[in-house]
Protein backbone atom coordinates (compact mmCIF):
# COMPACT_ATOMS: atom_id res chain seq x y z
CA UNK A 1 0.00 0.00 0.00
CA UNK A 2 1.40 3.34 -0.96
CA UNK A 3 0.90 6.03 1.64
CA UNK A 4 0.96 8.95 -0.79
CA UNK A 5 -2.79 9.64 -0.64
CA UNK A 6 -2.64 9.41 3.14
CA UNK A 7 0.39 11.70 3.50
CA UNK A 8 -0.91 14.21 0.96
CA UNK A 9 -3.82 15.20 3.18
CA UNK A 10 -1.74 15.75 6.30
CA UNK A 11 -0.76 19.35 7.03
CA UNK A 12 2.73 18.94 8.45
CA UNK A 13 4.08 22.08 10.11
CA UNK A 14 7.17 24.09 9.14
CA UNK A 15 9.35 21.48 10.85
CA UNK A 16 7.62 18.70 8.93
CA UNK A 17 5.81 17.48 12.03
CA UNK A 18 2.24 16.88 13.12
CA UNK A 19 1.01 16.19 16.67
CA UNK A 20 -0.28 12.66 17.20
CA UNK A 21 -2.50 11.54 20.05
CA UNK A 22 -2.30 7.87 21.03
CA UNK A 23 -5.48 6.42 22.51
CA UNK A 24 -6.03 2.89 23.79
CA UNK A 25 -8.54 1.59 21.27
CA UNK A 26 -10.85 -0.28 23.62
CA UNK A 27 -10.77 1.62 26.91
CA UNK A 28 -10.47 5.11 25.43
CA UNK A 29 -7.54 6.10 27.65
CA UNK A 30 -5.49 8.93 26.16
CA UNK A 31 -2.02 7.45 26.52
CA UNK A 32 0.30 10.15 25.21
CA UNK A 33 0.87 12.94 22.75
CA UNK A 34 3.84 12.65 20.42
CA UNK A 35 4.92 13.94 17.01
CA UNK A 36 5.18 12.33 13.63
CA UNK A 37 6.94 13.29 10.41
CA UNK A 38 6.25 11.80 6.99
CA UNK A 39 8.55 8.83 7.56
CA UNK A 40 6.97 8.07 10.92
CA UNK A 41 3.50 7.96 9.37
CA UNK A 42 4.76 5.83 6.49
CA UNK A 43 6.50 3.37 8.79
CA UNK A 44 3.55 3.16 11.19
CA UNK A 45 1.22 2.27 8.33
CA UNK A 46 3.66 -0.19 6.81
CA UNK A 47 4.50 -2.06 10.01
CA UNK A 48 1.31 -1.67 12.03
CA UNK A 49 3.37 -0.46 14.98
CA UNK A 50 3.44 3.14 16.18
CA UNK A 51 6.55 5.01 15.13
CA UNK A 52 6.96 8.66 16.11
CA UNK A 53 9.55 11.35 15.57
CA UNK A 54 11.57 12.25 18.63
CA UNK A 55 12.11 16.00 18.64
CA UNK A 56 14.78 15.72 21.33
CA UNK A 57 16.77 13.11 19.45
CA UNK A 58 15.87 14.37 15.98
CA UNK A 59 15.23 10.82 14.79
CA UNK A 60 12.49 8.26 14.27
CA UNK A 61 11.30 6.78 17.54
CA UNK A 62 10.03 3.26 17.21
CA UNK A 63 7.86 3.18 20.29
CA UNK A 64 8.90 0.33 22.54
CA UNK A 65 12.10 -0.48 20.67
CA UNK A 66 14.11 -0.15 23.87
CA UNK A 67 11.45 -0.69 26.53
CA UNK A 68 9.38 -3.36 24.82
CA UNK A 69 6.28 -1.24 25.46
CA UNK A 70 5.06 -1.26 21.86
CA UNK A 71 1.83 0.06 20.41
CA UNK A 72 0.00 -1.97 17.80
CA UNK A 73 -1.87 0.32 15.42
CA UNK A 74 -5.58 -0.37 15.25
CA UNK A 75 -6.65 2.72 13.31
CA UNK A 76 -5.16 6.00 12.14
CA UNK A 77 -7.41 9.07 12.07
CA UNK A 78 -7.00 12.61 10.81
CA UNK A 79 -8.78 15.71 12.04
CA UNK A 80 -10.86 18.24 10.12
CA UNK A 81 -7.98 20.62 9.47
CA UNK A 82 -5.56 17.83 8.63
CA UNK A 83 -3.11 19.04 11.24
CA UNK A 84 -3.56 16.48 14.00
CA UNK A 85 -3.52 12.68 14.03
CA UNK A 86 -5.24 10.25 16.34
CA UNK A 87 -3.79 6.77 16.65
CA UNK A 88 -6.03 4.12 18.10
CA UNK A 89 -3.55 1.61 19.44
CA UNK A 90 -3.26 -1.46 21.59
CA UNK A 91 -0.64 -0.50 24.16
CA UNK A 92 1.58 -3.31 25.35
CA UNK A 93 2.36 -2.57 29.00
CA UNK A 94 2.80 1.08 29.83
CA UNK A 95 2.95 4.10 27.54
CA UNK A 96 4.91 6.49 29.76
CA UNK A 97 8.66 6.42 30.24
CA UNK A 98 8.03 6.98 33.96
CA UNK A 99 6.46 3.52 34.11
CA UNK A 100 2.93 4.84 34.30
CA UNK A 101 0.18 3.53 32.07
CA UNK A 102 -0.28 6.95 30.42
CA UNK A 103 1.60 10.23 30.41
CA UNK A 104 -1.20 12.45 31.73
CA UNK A 105 -0.81 11.55 35.39
CA UNK A 106 -0.86 15.10 36.79
CA UNK A 107 -4.14 16.82 37.48
CA UNK A 108 -4.70 20.50 38.30
CA UNK A 109 -6.29 20.41 41.73
CA UNK A 110 -6.43 23.11 44.38
CA UNK A 111 -4.10 25.34 42.39
CA UNK A 112 -1.33 22.80 41.92
CA UNK A 113 -0.48 19.68 39.93
CA UNK A 114 -1.27 16.53 41.85
CA UNK A 115 -0.14 13.07 40.78
CA UNK A 116 -3.15 10.86 40.21
CA UNK A 117 -1.40 7.70 39.05
CA UNK A 118 1.61 5.75 40.27
CA UNK A 119 4.17 3.88 38.17
CA UNK A 120 3.16 0.30 37.36
CA UNK A 121 6.72 -0.61 36.41
CA UNK A 122 10.01 0.84 37.65
CA UNK A 123 11.59 2.90 34.84
CA UNK A 124 14.89 1.05 35.42
CA UNK A 125 13.17 -2.15 34.46
CA UNK A 126 11.90 -0.58 31.25
CA UNK A 127 15.25 0.74 30.15
CA UNK A 128 17.59 -1.95 31.41
CA UNK A 129 19.19 0.15 34.12
CA UNK A 130 20.05 -3.01 36.05
CA UNK B 1 -7.17 30.68 42.79
CA UNK B 2 -3.94 31.81 41.32
CA UNK B 3 -2.77 29.75 38.38
CA UNK B 4 0.93 30.49 38.83
CA UNK B 5 1.87 27.06 40.16
CA UNK B 6 -0.13 25.46 37.37
CA UNK B 7 1.35 27.60 34.60
CA UNK B 8 4.88 27.30 35.94
CA UNK B 9 5.03 23.58 35.21
CA UNK B 10 3.79 23.87 31.63
CA UNK B 11 6.49 23.87 28.95
CA UNK B 12 5.07 26.31 26.44
CA UNK B 13 6.87 26.26 23.08
CA UNK B 14 8.75 29.13 21.41
CA UNK B 15 5.42 30.61 20.32
CA UNK B 16 4.09 30.40 23.86
CA UNK B 17 1.75 27.54 22.98
CA UNK B 18 1.10 24.00 24.13
CA UNK B 19 -1.04 21.38 22.38
CA UNK B 20 -4.23 20.51 24.23
CA UNK B 21 -6.32 17.41 23.68
CA UNK B 22 -10.01 17.64 24.56
CA UNK B 23 -11.63 14.40 25.63
CA UNK B 24 -15.27 13.81 26.58
CA UNK B 25 -14.93 12.98 30.26
CA UNK B 26 -17.41 10.11 30.47
CA UNK B 27 -17.32 8.38 27.08
CA UNK B 28 -13.61 8.84 26.43
CA UNK B 29 -14.11 10.23 22.91
CA UNK B 30 -11.17 12.32 21.75
CA UNK B 31 -13.00 15.39 20.52
CA UNK B 32 -10.29 17.64 19.13
CA UNK B 33 -6.74 18.89 19.40
CA UNK B 34 -6.22 22.60 19.87
CA UNK B 35 -3.60 24.94 21.30
CA UNK B 36 -3.43 26.99 24.47
CA UNK B 37 -1.27 29.87 25.59
CA UNK B 38 -0.87 31.08 29.18
CA UNK B 39 -3.97 33.25 29.03
CA UNK B 40 -6.07 30.41 27.64
CA UNK B 41 -5.04 28.11 30.49
CA UNK B 42 -5.67 30.86 33.01
CA UNK B 43 -9.12 31.67 31.61
CA UNK B 44 -10.10 28.00 31.33
CA UNK B 45 -9.27 27.43 34.99
CA UNK B 46 -10.97 30.63 36.10
CA UNK B 47 -14.21 30.12 34.18
CA UNK B 48 -14.47 26.33 34.02
CA UNK B 49 -15.04 26.59 30.27
CA UNK B 50 -12.48 25.58 27.65
CA UNK B 51 -10.68 28.52 26.10
CA UNK B 52 -8.01 27.90 23.48
CA UNK B 53 -5.68 30.03 21.40
CA UNK B 54 -6.57 30.24 17.73
CA UNK B 55 -3.35 30.18 15.72
CA UNK B 56 -5.17 31.30 12.59
CA UNK B 57 -6.79 34.29 14.28
CA UNK B 58 -3.95 34.94 16.71
CA UNK B 59 -6.42 35.43 19.55
CA UNK B 60 -8.11 33.65 22.41
CA UNK B 61 -10.80 31.29 21.22
CA UNK B 62 -13.59 30.83 23.70
CA UNK B 63 -14.88 27.51 22.47
CA UNK B 64 -18.56 27.78 21.63
CA UNK B 65 -18.72 31.56 21.89
CA UNK B 66 -20.17 31.78 18.38
CA UNK B 67 -21.62 28.30 17.92
CA UNK B 68 -22.91 27.67 21.41
CA UNK B 69 -21.02 24.36 21.44
CA UNK B 70 -19.21 24.98 24.69
CA UNK B 71 -17.00 22.64 26.70
CA UNK B 72 -17.33 22.54 30.47
CA UNK B 73 -13.99 21.70 32.06
CA UNK B 74 -14.10 18.64 34.28
CA UNK B 75 -10.38 18.17 34.77
CA UNK B 76 -7.11 19.54 33.43
CA UNK B 77 -4.15 17.18 33.14
CA UNK B 78 -0.49 17.62 32.22
CA UNK B 79 1.82 15.04 30.70
CA UNK B 80 5.17 13.77 31.95
CA UNK B 81 7.24 16.25 29.95
CA UNK B 82 4.93 19.14 30.73
CA UNK B 83 4.48 19.91 27.05
CA UNK B 84 0.98 18.59 26.41
CA UNK B 85 -2.35 19.15 28.14
CA UNK B 86 -5.39 16.92 28.35
CA UNK B 87 -8.73 18.55 29.05
CA UNK B 88 -11.48 16.29 30.27
CA UNK B 89 -14.59 18.18 29.25
CA UNK B 90 -18.32 17.88 28.94
CA UNK B 91 -18.98 18.83 25.33
CA UNK B 92 -22.25 20.61 24.70
CA UNK B 93 -23.42 19.50 21.26
CA UNK B 94 -20.68 18.97 18.72
CA UNK B 95 -16.97 19.73 18.96
CA UNK B 96 -16.16 20.06 15.26
CA UNK B 97 -16.84 23.13 13.15
CA UNK B 98 -18.07 20.77 10.41
CA UNK B 99 -20.99 19.82 12.66
CA UNK B 100 -19.53 16.45 13.59
CA UNK B 101 -19.30 15.29 17.17
CA UNK B 102 -15.50 15.16 17.01
CA UNK B 103 -12.83 16.34 14.59
CA UNK B 104 -11.20 12.96 13.92
CA UNK B 105 -13.76 11.72 11.40
CA UNK B 106 -11.32 10.52 8.74
CA UNK B 107 -9.79 7.09 8.98
CA UNK B 108 -6.90 5.71 6.91
CA UNK B 109 -8.44 2.74 5.15
CA UNK B 110 -7.31 1.00 1.97
CA UNK B 111 -4.68 3.64 1.33
CA UNK B 112 -6.99 6.64 1.55
CA UNK B 113 -8.85 8.75 4.08
CA UNK B 114 -12.43 7.62 4.48
CA UNK B 115 -15.07 9.60 6.35
CA UNK B 116 -16.41 7.55 9.24
CA UNK B 117 -18.81 10.08 10.75
CA UNK B 118 -21.42 12.40 9.32
CA UNK B 119 -22.35 15.88 10.55
CA UNK B 120 -24.95 15.90 13.30
CA UNK B 121 -25.71 19.57 12.75
CA UNK B 122 -25.40 21.67 9.59
CA UNK B 123 -22.44 24.06 9.98
CA UNK B 124 -24.69 26.94 8.82
CA UNK B 125 -26.84 26.34 11.85
CA UNK B 126 -23.81 26.51 14.12
CA UNK B 127 -22.50 29.75 12.73
CA UNK B 128 -25.68 31.59 11.96
CA UNK B 129 -25.35 31.45 8.17
CA UNK B 130 -29.14 31.72 7.85
Please list the pLDDT of chain A residue by residue as tens digits (130 residues). Answer: 568 899 999 999 999 999 999 999 999 999 999 999 999 999 999 999 999 999 999 999 999 999 999 999 999 999 999 999 999 999 999 999 999 999 999 999 999 999 999 999 999 999 875 4
Inform me whether the pLDDT recorded for B70 exceeds 80. Answer: yes
Mean predicted lDDT score pLDDT of chain B? 95
Q: Give the per-residue pLDDT at A31.
A: 98
Q: What pTM, to 2 d.p., does this model score? A: 0.96
Give the nearest partner residue to B80 out of A29, A103, A107, using CB atoms: A103
Amino acid B3: pLDDT: 82
Cα(A89)–Cα(A72) distance, integer angstroms:
5
For residue B2, is pLDDT > 90? no
Q: According to the model, what pLDDT value does residue A130 have?
A: 45
pLDDT digits (tens, 9 = 90+) for B87-128: 999 999 999 999 999 999 999 999 999 999 999 999 999 987
What residues in B contact A107, CB-CB < 8 Å?
75-78
For testing contact with chain A, the best of B113, B115, B118, B126 (most A CBs within 10 A): B113
User: Order of strands across the sheet with B30-36?
Assistant: A112-115, A106-109, B71-78, B85-91, B18-24, B30-36
Q: What ipTM is given for this predicted complex?
A: 0.96
> For an interface test with B, which of A41, A77, A87 has the most B Cβ atoms less than 10 Å from its Cβ?
A77
Percent of residues in chain B assigned helix, strand, coil, to nearest 5? 15, 35, 50
B32 pairs with which residues across the strands?
B22
Query: Which residues partner with B23 through β-bridges?
Result: B30, B88
Contact call for B103 and A30, based on CB within 8 A: no
Give the Cβ contact number of residue B40 at 10 Å.
25
- Going A83 to A88 to A89 to A95, the CA torsion angle's sign is positive
What pLDDT is recorded for position A127?
Answer: 86
Amino acid sequence: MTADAILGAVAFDAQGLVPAVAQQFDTGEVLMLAWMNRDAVRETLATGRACYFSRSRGALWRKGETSGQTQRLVELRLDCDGDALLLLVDQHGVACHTGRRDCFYRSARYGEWQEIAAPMVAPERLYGGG
